[in-house]
Structure 1
Amino acid sequence: MKLLSSYLKMPAPSSWNEFPLGPNYRFEIQQHMQPWWPKFFGFYLLKIGALSTEIDTRECAIPHQINVGERGDQMQVIADLNQLPFSEKSSDVCLLFHTLSAVEDPYRFLREVDRILVDDGWLVISHFNSFSLLGIGKLLPVIKRRQPYVCPMFSRMRVLDWLGLLNYEIVHQIGFHVLPWHHRGEYSMNIHLPAISCLSLIIARKRTMPLSLDALKLRTPKRCFSPVSTENYKI
């Protein structure tokens, strides 16, 4: 609890430039997102969190792209992330680029995002991997109070567990950027060492299933005509 409280005392970063090598992280995320922008469709795309607003989404064809956050000049909607001012099932795509580290209760925040996301809508999440060189930096007394080590970090399996509880289908997941100080030329390391990569990217879709089966579908269809026994009839 003391560790979590120390995280929350420090405000969440409002720009990638506040991270050492932050522009490199943003560049890597944008590179991995390029094949996915044409696949998103709908009317409303929400970029939730300050770091999400700085990701270039011009290749996405969704017409209405809205920046949502608790503060910042680029925000079009200022709101508490745990109580988003949108109606249920009103957004087609929600982008959470390193937003889980900026909220006190990530799972509660994911449930709020799930509320406003339409059925079969897209959810994109990026975050720092706790099992990486950045995660090791959180153990060093000299740098653990600096960015990005002061931010909460999660393993990819933990985020996948949260999405599984909310019944999301994982369409794509990848770990990349194994060495924090590199932003190019490490493709072989990304292939062979994805578990210890500094950045994780998860693309999921909201799937809905009925809590109970329809009784009408389970009902045995009635026969229009019942067979009549001819044993008691004599001609």
Structure 2
Amino acid sequence: MRRQQLSQWFDSPLGRSLQAHEAHHLRAVLPNLYGTVAAQLGRIGELDLMDSCIAPTRIMLDDHDGPGKCRVRSVPEELPLDTRSTDVMILPHTLDFCDDPHQVLREVDRVLRPEGHVVILGFNPMSLWGFRRLVARRPRAAPWCGKFLRLSRIKDWLALLDFETTHGTMLYYRPPLRNEGFMQRLHFLDKMGDRWWPMMAGAYLVVAKKRVVGVTPLPVSWKTKRAVAASAAQSTARGMILPFRKQ
């Protein structure tokens, strides 16, 4: 239900403005993520966030029916995809509007191939958007009914799942106002935000790569090292002593 409310909100003037900004940054990121299968977990708004993805197979996963090619109905905590079957997973505010964000990331880890990438868009609670959420009347409407997870928390969860963060940026420094014309006039704040107040953006974008788990050598104790060294020395000495022959 909350995802449907969020999708409807992204059709509002403020939602369309934010989504256009996010889509612009995705077009700079997705062409660099190689693979044959990409999946988006949850559709929001009318823009195709996978339009710049180079993967020939693109799947839309959502918990309600709607238009779209290769759409599969699913919940984010239980993905109907095979293990290690996907190269790129896009989560547009998915973690903010799901019941168990950590379980969603575990599912993403399961379906991603080694060296695959996850792209996460989220609302920043440490911003004017986060303050607007705190003062919103209850029951909160979208997007203020979301969880607004801290960026540091997302990175901690990714690290626990052995993901390496490769790219991150803060997005959209304009305040959450309803007046579309006034919002357009505040476009200059997006250029100033990265320099003057970088952590006060309304949203963020994170890209993380699934690491390939290698073999870690077991630690050898000093006693074992000395025993191995002594054995090697004895073997070498025996090899150097030739048998004595009588003439």
TM over 0.5: yes
Q: TM-score, normalised by structure 1?
A: 0.82
2:142 is matched with: 147
Tell me the SS of whatever aligns to 2:51: coil
Shift of 1:54: 3.6
Distance 1:193 1:80, change over 3 A: same
Instruction: State the TM-score, normalized to the length of structure 2.
Output: 0.78
**How far did residue 191 of structure 1 move?**
2.6
1:62 is the counterpart of 2:72: no
Pick the aligned partner of 1:194 from 192, 198, 213: 198
User: Does 1:94 pair with 2:104?
Assistant: no
Q: Distance in 2 between matches of 1:35 and 1:157?
A: 23
1:214 positional shift: 7.5
Q: Which runs of 5+ in 1 are unaligned?
A: 1-7
TM-fit CA distance, 1:55:
3.5
Max Rg structure: 2
- Cα offset, 1:74, TM superposition: 2.9
Residues in 1 aligned to 2:3 and 2:55: alpha-carbon distance in whole angstroms: 34
Q: How many pairs does the alignment contain?
A: 224
> What are the within-5 Å matches in structure 2 for residues 119-198 of structure 1?
119-142=114-137, 145-180=140-175, 181=177, 182=183, 184-186=187-189, 187-198=191-202
In the alignment, the residues of structure 2 paired with residue 48 and residue 9 of structure 1 have an alpha-carbon distance, to the nearest angstrom, of: 14
Contact 1:53 1:67 in 2 (8 A): no
User: Higher mean Cα deviation, 69-78 or 13-22?
Assistant: 13-22
After superposition, the Cα gap between the structure-2 partners of 1:212 and 1:196, relative to the gap in structure 1 and judged at 3 Å, is: same
56 and 231 in structure 1: CA distance in 2 versus 1, 3 angstrom threshold: closer
Q: Quick one: structure 1 residues 230 and 155, their matched pair in 2 at CA, closer, same or farther if it must change by over 3 Å?
A: same
Residues of 1 paired with 2:67 and 2:121: CA distance? 20
Computed over aligned residues only, the root mean square deviation of the Cα atoms, in angstroms, reads 3.2
2:32 counterpart of 1:39: yes
Give the AA of the match of 1:226. T
Structure-to-structure mapping, 1:3-18, within 5 angstroms: 12-18=5-11
More helix by share: 2
Unmatched segments (≥5 aa) in structure 2: 178-182, 220-224
Task: Indicate how the Cα distance of structure 1 residues 55 and 127 shifts in structure 2: closer, same or farther if over 3 A, else same.
Answer: farther
CA shift for structure 1 position 189 = 1.5
Match of 1:74 in 2: 67
Structure 2 CA distance, aligned partners of 1:202 and 1:230? 65
Distance 1:52 1:213, change over 3 A: farther
Return closer, same or farther for 1:213/1:16 CA change in 2, 3 Å cut-off: farther
Contact 1:46 1:67 in 2 (8 A): yes
Match of 2:222 in 1: none
- Which of 191, 207, 212 in structure 2 is aligned with 1:208? 212
Instruction: Please report how far the alpha carbon of residue 232 of structure 1 lies from its aligned counterpart in structure 2 after TM superposition.
Output: 9.7
After superposing the two structures, state which structure 1 stretch, 105-114 or 78-87, moved more.
Answer: 78-87
Show CA shifts across 1:139-167 (max 9, x none).
Answer: 21547712221211011111111111111
The residue identity in structure 1 corresponding to 2:201 is S
- The alignment partner of 1:123 has SS state of strand
Instruction: Output the amino acid matched with 2:236.
Output: S
